[in-house]
């Protein structure tokens, strides 16, 4: 398994933010960048969705809730600058 995994939820959020005009990423192809940089893909699984739905309401952002669920389910460390992740007791790298 790759040392670095990128959640499908992160790519989804980036692309939505770009489509809404709130992110100028030019013509970057983030899926291609995963391969170029040897990052693995972390798919969204049914178990992740179930965990995300059951999380306490410390945070309402659905993408972040999915990331938190994935970190919990897979025993991963999440790279984030959002301090609200601490409320969920997940491992983070700032």
- Of 53, 45, 54, 31, residue with least CA distance to 76: 45
At the top level of CATH, which class does the domain 5-93 belong to? alpha beta
Domain residue ranges of the chain, discontinuous segments joined by +: 5-93
Q: How far is CA 6 from CA 9, 27, 47, 56, 86, in A?
A: 8, 19, 17, 24, 20
d(CA 76, CA 16): 25
User: What single DSSP character describes residue 44?
Assistant: -
Question: What does the pLDDT profile of the chain (94 residues) look like in tens digits?
Answer: 558 999 999 999 999 999 999 999 999 999 999 999 999 999 999 999 999 999 999 989 999 999 999 999 999 999 999 999 999 999 999 8
Q: How many other C-beta atoms lie within 10 A of the C-beta of residue 32?
A: 9
pTM: predicted TM-score of the whole model, two decimal places? 0.89
What is the pLDDT at residue 3?
83
Unique residue bearing structure tokens 């739905």: 53
């Amino acid at each position: 398994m790759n040392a670095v995994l990128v959640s499908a939820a992160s790519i989804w959020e980036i692309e939505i933010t770009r489509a809404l005009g709130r992110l100028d990423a030019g013509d970057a192809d983030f899926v291609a960048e995963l391969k170029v940089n040897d990052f693995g893909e972390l798919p969204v699984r049914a178990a992740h969705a179930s965990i995300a739905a059951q999380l306490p309401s410390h945070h309402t952002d659905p993408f972040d809730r999915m990331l938190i669920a994935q970190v919990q389910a897979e025993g991963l460390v999440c790279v984030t600058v959002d301090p609200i992740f601490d409320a969920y007791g997940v491992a983070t790298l700032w």
